[in-house]
Amino acid sequence: MTVYAIDPLSDSRWSELLERHPDASVFHTPNWLHALQRTYGYEPVVFTTSAPNEEMADGIVFCRVNSWLTGKRLVSLPFSDHCQPLVDSPEELQSLLEEAKSSIEKCGQKYLEVRPIDLKYAEHADLGRTEKFYFHSIDLTDSLDEISARLHTSHVKRKLKRADSENLIYSEGRDDRHLGMFYKLLLVTRQRHQIPPQPKHWFGNVLSCLGDFAKIRVALKDGEPVASILTLAYKNAHYYKYGCSDLRFSKMGGTQMLLWRAIAEAKGAGADFFDMGRSDPENTGLVEFKERWGAQRKEICYYRYPSTTKTGDGSAMKLAQSVFRRIPAGLQETIGNVLYKHIG
């Protein structure tokens, strides 16, 4: 098969394929790719067997990551929990990956990586497994009462009642005010977990580029933000992408109030599932948190070529965490601004 490289930001056929393909997610969209490019300078590219004058029938989207710290590479996709290759046969997958492999050799890149929910036809891909994660999602095809019945009694239902008794106020939006409240809580949360914060302009670009696909939700107590989440929506799925909170108010149930509001809204909008994203299997607290919402777990793997490539981005994050513990609070945001471009 002849394979073509196209720009998904300018070729409208990519968006048309996403509307038709059942495996397309918000992370495939030009909106998400534009946010990545605007924030980190990543160059998106799609490999497809469809000629320029044909309707697009398949494709794998990558970003070209050029880093002096972690090396040049082709990733599908940076800062995205998953990005399924949009193919319908092993021959399509093999042809597209062969072209991607040829591309990294021509460009002097270290490796390519794909991050699917389920790598169909994996035996034809000639890729090596690297990282393993848990992926959680909530089935929304049942009634809201049935979904509610699966919530954990003490860790979710009681927290929702507590949020009511505390008279927490719900607010949502995409403006600078909501972004400011969200990012203030994010800095506190990242400091608590000793992880550098993502750049504030990343979240601003997500809101700007995704428009109605993205929303910040905030829980307030007496006018003070106590918890916030950033959710996404696309086609038949809604996504819990980022969450943060002030630990001093955790017993008030602010996060639970926001998540339940998002789940109920997704159900009301006709979504089939609520995507709760990936989790490191070693992060048992996060895994348990998601499963208390009745979310179903499945194992997902990332794949690389060459399969012998050592991971560099994980080492960079560990180094950053080590440094992060020792620096003044005022410099932590600066480190995040510098670091995240290299670890996508």
Domains of the chain and CATH, by start: 4-126 (3.40.630.30), 136-301 (3.40.630.30)
Residue 257 to residue 65: CA distance in whole angstroms: 37
Higher-confidence position of 120 and 5: 5
Per the CB < 8 A criterion, the answer to whether 45 and 61 are in contact is yes
Per the CB < 8 A criterion, the answer to whether 245 and 228 are in contact is yes
SS3 190: helix
Which of 281, 266, 23, 26 is closest to 136 using CA atoms? 281
Average pLDDT over residues 53-64: 97
**127 burial via Cβ count (<10 Å: 0-12, 13-18, 19+):** buried
Average pLDDT over residues 290-295: 98
Q: How many residues does the chain have?
A: 344
Q: Give how far Cα 123 sits from Cα of 90, 93, 94, Å.
A: 9, 10, 10
SS3 220: strand
Cis preceding-peptide flag for 97 (omega within 30 of 0): no
Residue 80 reports pLDDT greater than 60: yes
Average per-residue pLDDT for the chain: 93
Residue 22 reports pLDDT greater than 60: yes
As given in the structure block, the two tokens for residue 253 are: 């149930």
Beta strands 273-279 and 237-245, pairing class = parallel
pLDDT tens digit sequence for 219-258: 999 999 999 999 999 999 999 999 999 999 999 999 999 9
Average pLDDT over residues 167-196: 95
Q: What percent of the chain has pLDDT over 70?
A: 92
- Residue type, position 293, single letter: W
pLDDT of residue 312: 45
pLDDT of residue 246: 96
Is residue 125 very low, low, confident or very high in pLDDT (cuts 50, 70, 90)? confident
SS3 223: coil
The interaxial angle of helices 176-193 and 200-210, nearest 10 deg, is 140
pLDDT tens digit sequence for 322-339: 655 656 666 778 888 888
Residue 310 reports pLDDT greater than 60: no
Beta strands 169-173 and 214-221, pairing class = antiparallel
Residue 267 reports pLDDT greater than 90: yes
Average pLDDT over residues 128-146: 96
Average pLDDT over residues 165-187: 97
pLDDT of residue 165: 98
pTM of the model as a whole: 0.94
Average pLDDT over residues 125-141: 93
